[in-house]
Amino acid sequence: MSEAGVDIAAQRSKHFDELREIAPDLVVTVCDSAREACPVWPGAAEMRHAGFDDPPRLAASASSEEEALVHYRRVRDEIRSFVEELPPGRKGGG
């Protein structure tokens, strides 16, 4: 991510319980397992699914780190394009 100008060093996965107080107007699941495991976010105005390939699964058969990074970079760029196409006000973080 840093090569794309995004600092995620302080980011971490969060359990739903940590986010209970947040009332988002949009919740996006980005993989099929997340869509199945979290089909409803209480209070969310809109649920949207944007399925992306799973980079670790794709990279598992790579013969080098550079070959593996191709998958991560492609999915990263697809997610960036998705976010950039969201309407203004829907590009927040958390």
Q: How far apart are CA 87 and CA 94, in angstroms?
A: 17
Residue 58, token pair as written in the block: 């794709």
Question: Residue holding tokens 């990263």?
Answer: 76
DSSP annotation of 87 reads: P
3-class DSSP assignment, residue 12? coil
User: What is residue 54's predicted lDDT score, i.e. its pLDDT?
Assistant: 92
3-class DSSP assignment, residue 93? coil
Residue ranges for the chain with pLDDT beneath 70: 39, 44, 90-94
User: What is residue 94's predicted lDDT score, i.e. its pLDDT?
Assistant: 47
pTM of the model: 0.75
The phi and psi torsions of 37 (rounded to 5 degrees) equal: -80, -25
Nearest-CA neighbor of 86 among 30, 32, 34?
30
User: What is residue 39's predicted lDDT score, i.e. its pLDDT?
Assistant: 64
